[in-house]
Amino acid sequence: MVVIRPATPADCQALAHVQVDSYRCAYAGQFPQPYLDHFSYEEQEKDWVDWFASGKGDILLVAEHPQEGVIGYLLAFKQAGLPGYDAEIAAMHVRQDHQKHGVGSALLRKSVEMLIEYGAKSVMLWTLRGNPARAWYESLQGKFISGKTYPVYDQDIVEVSYGWSDIRVLLSEE
């Protein structure tokens, strides 16, 4: 049984492995390969160590499998990057071999519960336009908000945002 719990500094190495592996798999073909190749476990582990040291107080949850350790994580900000939303799901990654087994749903549910405790009434997120998870966000009643484009190497990357004006909707979804 997978346990959803707050991340600790001891999780930094595992977080880095999930993150880098997820980037290389999920973002293949969506980002230029040289961009994906520059991510290393060591660099991302240092980023997570620095994140914990910063004491930002945002929400970082891990999904921990009893035999395999950390298999996913979710980072949520208590403030949103877009006006009209109280909070933001900044990142959610689940190892490919554990996707479509409810791990992402469990991470999302727990983060929403915690955001509500902090007073959030709405939440939003950004995702790549080509991300298959968009269908999942739409099935959870996420409303398209806007898009943005930025260059990475010589390629334009397009992200789209989804929002839930009533965060509680995410608690009623399975």
Q: How many whole angstroms separate alpha carbon 26 and alpha carbon 21? A: 8
* Structure tokens given for 138: 């739409």
pLDDT in the model for residue 56: 82
What phi, psi does 57 have (nearest 5°)? Answer: 80, 10
pLDDT at 51: 96
**Contact assessment for residue 147 and residue 160, using Cβ atoms and an 8 Å cutoff:** yes
pLDDT the model gives residue 173:
54
Report the pLDDT value the prediction gives residue 101, as an integer from 0 to 100.
94
Sketch out the chain's domains with CATH numbers. Answer: 3-120 (3.40.630.30)
Indicate the angle between helix axes 12-26 and 41-54, nearest 10 degrees: 130
Name the pTM for this structure: 0.94
Residues of the chain with pLDDT under 50: 174
